[in-house]
Amino acid sequence: MPETGPIFLLGLQRGGTNQILNALRSHPDTYWPNGELHEVLRPRRPASLAALRCWAGYLPTLMRRGDVLNPRRPPGPLGARDLKWLHAALMRACADNTGEVRRYRRALAEQGFGPEAGPFGSRLVVKLVNYNVGLAPDLARIYPDATFIGLMRDPFGICESMMARGARPETILPLYRYVGERLLDLEAQGLPVTIVRLEDMVADFRQVVETVYAACGLDANATSGLCLQRKERVLAPDGRLVGMNKIDTFHAFDSVNAHMRKDVNRAARAGLPPQAVNGVLHSCSALMKRFGYATPGDAR
């Protein structure tokens, strides 16, 4: 059971990764950068001095390997210089986020969910989503003592949620297969990966957290809740959307299930057109069975 190495959370956007990420962040032994791997090492646009510094550090890898941190396409293998850069850049991103880690801890302590005092965490936690999941073997080369947590969701739910935000099935389904197959590849290679499902989190969040903590060698009694964020739209007087406010909400591990059910059900109401259902069945049936999901026609 690893007790010192970093923890990498691997999954799909709209797949429930934020809940597990924040459960890991809630543990006093952890620390993290301010965002997902691609967000802190490959900023969306050079709109600040910090973003320009990130792009400058990424440029040599970009020229040698292409845009390997792009979450919208599979990465290629990284060379030794790229791995050295990735580690150094990730450590800088974590150092820059020290204040936010301490703020998060204080907020949890004020709610009675965990200790505020004590030494700074020693376990790095980083989330990788979509095609960035393919970087896991490279991360295992940098961090031989790393632990990987994979999170899957029923492909019908992923499609419903992503399509409601404008994505198309022909983009979603290859991505779903890629992430699912990479998680199974990590398992087959004997790397320390624990795969959990969103549906099991919705049914019993505490049990899943205890499973994840045990896989990572974290004390399950060190914290009892987490902080999630609710987004509220900021509208101009004419009704235009001009921004989003993030509002912290706090939940005990034993009561977060109701919050998650509401969020999942809201996404599910979008429904899927018949061609999307057929696409899921054609593309993902084998993976669904591997991850324990029933397909139409299975015996009840």
* Bridge partners of residue 151, in order along the sequence: 196
| DSSP secondary structure of 195-253 | EEEHHHHHH-HHHHHHHHHHHHT--TTS--EEEEEEEEEEE-TTS-EEEEEEEEEEEET
DSSP 270: T
By the 8 A CB rule, do 290 and 187 touch? no
Four-CA torsion 293, 296, 297, 300, nearest 10 degrees: 60
pLDDT digits (tens, 9 = 90+) for 93-128: 999 999 999 988 888 999 988 876 666 788 999 999
Handedness of CA 44, 46, 49, 54 (dihedral sign): positive
Angle between helices 155-163 and 274-290 (to 10 degrees): 140
7-32+97-224+263-290 architecture in CATH? 3-Layer(aba) Sandwich (3.40)
* Bridge partners of residue 241, in order along the sequence: 235
What mean pLDDT do residues 286-293 have?
92
**pLDDT at res. 257:** 77
CA 300 to chain centre: 32
Q: What totals of helices (H) and strands (E) does the chain contain, helices first? A: 12, 7
Per-residue pLDDT for 232 more than 90? no
Angle between helices 256-268 and 155-163 (to 10 degrees): 70
What residues have CB less than 8 Å from 209, skipping those under 6 apart? 20, 23, 220, 253
**pLDDT at res. 297:** 59
Name which of 133, 2, 27 is nearest 71 in CA terms.
Answer: 133
What mean pLDDT do residues 13-18 have?
90
pTM: 0.90
pLDDT digits (tens, 9 = 90+) for 161-170: 888 888 899 9
